[in-house]
Copies of this chain bind each other. A is one copy, B any other.
Amino acid sequence: MSAQKKLTRAEQKALRPAQILDAAFEEFVRNGFTATRVEDIADRVGVTKGTVYVYFETKEQLFEAMISHFSVAFHELLDNTDRLDGSVTDRLKAILGLLYDQIVEDRITRELLRLVISEGHRFPDLIDRHHDQFIAPIIAKIEDLMREGMSSGEFRQMPVEFSDIVVAPILTTTILRLIFDDRRARTPNKDAFMRAYFDLLLNGLLVRRS
């Protein structure tokens, strides 16, 4: 607390941009780009409209800066996946577990996805960046694993270009949460969900006839 108090004016100011970006995230997520008022963002920080314009030239630039600011977390995720070991199955499970944490349970990633879906038309390079930074690397990683599993004889042969299917339950869970939020109790228990997910993914629906 005294640390809180010791903030010099200069330190205060150094924090401003981050505070504004945080506030912008909340407001843009709640209302979308057009329906968000710069003044609401300022109010949330406790400053006036003018102050926002000290740091960001326009509402559009603020939006884009906010998206960039909150799009960093994924890098760590992707880094982590490189350090895994064990069987292909083990590594696939580990990656999907990390993805679950990042996509389903991390509110920021989830809401960023909402903005990608709703504001994509207005900010087309948002889409491109999102694709290049998030979607493509994940898909590539999954495809690599599938290829590896197939050549090692662990996985059955199947076309690798549909690896969306493998991660689909994670994206779907996120989307349902985005839609129903906390209004409908749709959020599953992670462990139970992952167990059912892996079981189905690895073994399929059908009873195996020996």
Contacts and interface: CB of A to CB of B under 8 A. Distances in A.
B192 A164 contact: no
Contacts of A181: 120
A17 to B, nearest CB: 20
A169 B172 CA distance: 8
Given A192-B159, A202-B205, A122 B179 contact: no
B89 A207 contact: no
Dominant secondary structure at the A interface: helix
A91 to B, nearest CB: 13
Contacts of A183: 124, 127
A4 interface: no
B165 A197 contact: yes
A206 interface: yes
Given A34-B32, A172-B167, A196-B165, A204 B203 contact: yes
A114 interface: yes
Interface in A87-129: 89, 114, 116-122, 124, 127
B199 A201 contact: no
A120 B207 CA distance: 40
A165 B194 CA distance: 10
Given A35-B122, A121-B30, A200-B204, A172 B164 contact: yes
Interface of A: 30-35, 89, 114, 116-122, 124, 127, 130-131, 135, 146, 149, 153-156, 158-159, 161-162, 164-169, 171-173, 175-176, 178-181, 183-184, 188, 192-193, 196-197, 199-208, 210
